[in-house]
Amino acid sequence: MKFHFPLRSQNPRELIRRAGYGEWYDREFDTLSYTKKLGVDNYPRFHIYVTEMSDRFEIDLHLDQKQASYLKGHAHSGEYDGSQVEEEARRITAVIAEIYGIVI
């Protein structure tokens, strides 16, 4: 699920961290993303990629139910919709809206 926010004085990285996400650097794919565990184990977890644009940033959110079992270069198997993903998107939106001082 993808959704956008305007760029303001707050760094998107800090906004995501304040929403409860930790940074995760994948050395194999050389990518930085953010995860939030749903329990004590690494999975299931919410997983976010952030893309900054000139006037906004995009959050690409999905739910990883288990560790990926694909080889480098193959497609991801995360859940990009459904009630859990939608609820988490609403929660993240509420956190960022509160930081921005806007009513949603």
pLDDT tens string 65-104? 988 765 555 455 689 999 999 999 999 999 999 999 987 7
Element (H, E) at 84: helix 83-100
- The average confidence (pLDDT) of the chain is 91
How many domains does the structure of the chain reveal? 1
| Domain extent at residue 40 | 2-100
Q: Please state whether the predicted TM-score (pTM) of the whole model is above 0.85.
A: yes
Please give the pLDDT value at position 74: 47
What average pLDDT does this structure show over 50-72?
A: 88
Please give the pLDDT value at position 71: 57
Three-point CA angle 64, 67, 69, nearest 5°: 120
The side-by-side arrangement of strands in the sheet containing 2-6 is 2-6, 56-64, 45-52, 31-37, 22-26
